[in-house]
A = this chain, B = another copy of it.
């Protein structure tokens, strides 16, 4: 176990701090996981996401954050989870993916997720692009 242990902080405060920092890099400051409903009804779950998802998984060195964010955007597109996908389109922009690359990835998925899913994901991406206008 000890060999895996060093890959995860054994201390909750450390995991939380690391998770919050990573999430801030992705989503910008002050964006807690989930919607207001999550914060209100299940604050422990919001904290669990910081610790167990962002703190434990996102920071592992085997894959860089830029790639993690991009493939998560892909997963959300395939699942049709549009509100969360918008968050990951923003995160992809923040981590250096261009609009052209994001659009191209969504089109690449069309033969797999279906053309309608690609239309829906392009519509979601465009909303994010507009709110990120320089």
Which residues of A, 76-119, contact B by the 8 Å Cβ criterion?
Answer: 76, 78-81, 83-84, 99-101, 103-119
Neighbouring B residues of A125 by C-beta, 8 Å: 37, 41
In the complex, which of the residues A52, A79, A126 has the most CB atoms of chain B within 10 Å of its own CB atom? A52
Does the CB pair B79–A114 fall under 8 Å? yes
CB of A15 to closest CB in B, whole Å: 9
Chain A contributes a number of interface residues (CB within 8 A of B) equal to: 75
Instruction: Identify whether the interface residues of A are mostly helix, strand, loop, or mixed.
Output: helix
Does the CB pair A37–B67 fall under 8 Å? no
With A48-B56, A78-B78, A123-B35: A108-B71 Cβ-Cβ less than 8 Å: yes
Which residues of A, 37-73, contact B by the 8 Å Cβ criterion?
Answer: 37-38, 40-45, 47-49, 51-53, 56-58, 60, 62-63, 67-68, 70-72
Nearest 7 pairs between A and B by C-beta?
A: A52-B52, A10-B12, A37-B126, A62-B104, A37-B123, A84-B116, A4-B44
Known A4-B43, A79-B116; 11 more pairs at CB < 8 Å: A1-B16, A7-B44, A33-B119, A38-B123, A40-B126, A52-B56, A57-B108, A63-B104, A74-B74, A76-B116, A81-B114
Can you give 7 A-B contacts (C-beta < 8 A)? A37-B123, A45-B118, A52-B56, A53-B111, A57-B111, A63-B101, A83-B116
